[in-house]
Structure 1
Amino acid sequence: MDVAWEEFGWERLAAGVGRRRLPGWDATVGLVVGEDAALLFDAGSTLREGAAIRAQTQRLLGGRRVTHIALSHAHFDHVLGAAAFAGAQVFGAVGLDEVLVRERDALRADAVREGVAEDEAGEAADVLVHPHHLVCAEWTLDLGGRQVLLANVGPGHTGHDLALLVPGPPSAVVFCGDLVEESGEPQAGPDAFPKRWPAALDRLLALGGVDAAYVPGHGAVVDAAFVRAQRDELAARFAVA
């Protein structure tokens, strides 16, 4: 059963698949609905934002709850809302758990630096959720009548980049995290692996194919040609063959 996503402020991408662009940093959260389970891709930047996403998804799901969360990478605007989803099984790329332990204070500081209130950033960091399941290569999840694929495609934007493939028909949808950005240039911070980033985008393109819809971590949905062009720009920027 599909729903009127737009009535709840979400963008429908395919049957049972949608996303929302969050205010502030234009970060995307995605939702994939099966008969028995629902997977959220990323979780927002604060507990308050996570709680708002939880309320929206419960309305979308007719009272059902998110059962699974996939975290694309360890930046505050993608992970700090996860604790709002009690009971959900959380997935991340191998090594993400160690980063979240090691960099908890840095995540808090980054959030405050970017404009999150200090008390909100501290509260979210104090209850930071670590992955229950670590994806080494690929992990297929059965949501009931629908299978999705979590793929550890990094390093690139960070050392632990996780993507989500929702197969068609009619066409696949790939949630890319910040490996792809549309609303600005891809950001290569101190935890990026710039020389390996183009190869991560090659893996994304192989995953989704030429006809897929690619959902960036920030910005509008793009096609394979956009991802390929961004891959080539990054390769030139970081002198990668």
Structure 2
Amino acid sequence: MRSQPFRPSRDYRPDLTPPWKRDTPAPEVPAEAGLVVEEVGTGYCGAVVRCEKTAEGPTVTLEDRFGKHRVFPLTPRGFLLEGRPVTLVRPRPDRPVTGQRTTPGGRPLTASGSLAVPGARARVARAGRIYVEGRHDAELVEKVWGDDLRLEGVVVEYLEGVDDLPAIVREFGPAPDARLGVLVDHLVPGSKESRIAAQVGGEDVLVVGHPFVDVWEAVKPAALGIPAWPTVPRGQDWKTGVCRALGWGENTGAAWRRVLGAVSSYRDLRPELLGAVERLIDHVTVGPGAP
């Protein structure tokens, strides 16, 4: 009688199937702003900018290290987080925040220090707007004042510079029922920005600013664990100079995510920026003629 060849009951060879192609369930991870992931189909790596609900289904926008944006559907097992497959899901707006600040009576506060309204729906957008000089300004305002702005129905847009501010204001056409506020970087006497701002006027438009060369400086150094913001020689790109001085490399996109990630509330910001933003919100929402 011929003996049968021995066959092991199990296959002990390593499974070389890529992890994102396996059928095992992947954990669900909220697509919080700043989370860095890789899209499995394209290999595109970037930080989450926002999630949106579209007619084709929920999507996530990622920003790569060059500041470019791409939009992807929120498909199961569609992303890698630290090399492991995950299913990104839209963050719950009413999800409790670990360590959320509260009043002495236990009422939750927003990042700006205002009383939070859990479960409240965003108000329909007002006709008025707040313009800020750049994308980083907009992201910082959103992180600290986002809850307040949604409740008030105030939309914040960024301009990519203020060189054409007078024309932009004329095109917007501020009115009592559509007031405009503008936040300008480096608004100090004698600066180019101050000369441009002086060309804009009217009861329904308010231009305010902070004294910092860049909005990064409005974040307190202590929040980042540095003694102070470096002094960058005139004529050198400020962000690049800061990154070099602090040993952060020269990827300013990654450096900004580091700066933004260090901000958890208004306590991490300089009062010069806090006061300017609060004035703009008041101008658009409670000034004369505001609805």
TM-score by length of 2: 0.24
Of Structure 1 and Structure 2, the greater strand share is in 1
TM-score by length of 1: 0.27
Instruction: Please identify the structure whose Cα radius of gyration is greater.
Output: 2
Of Structure 1 and Structure 2, the greater helix share is in 1
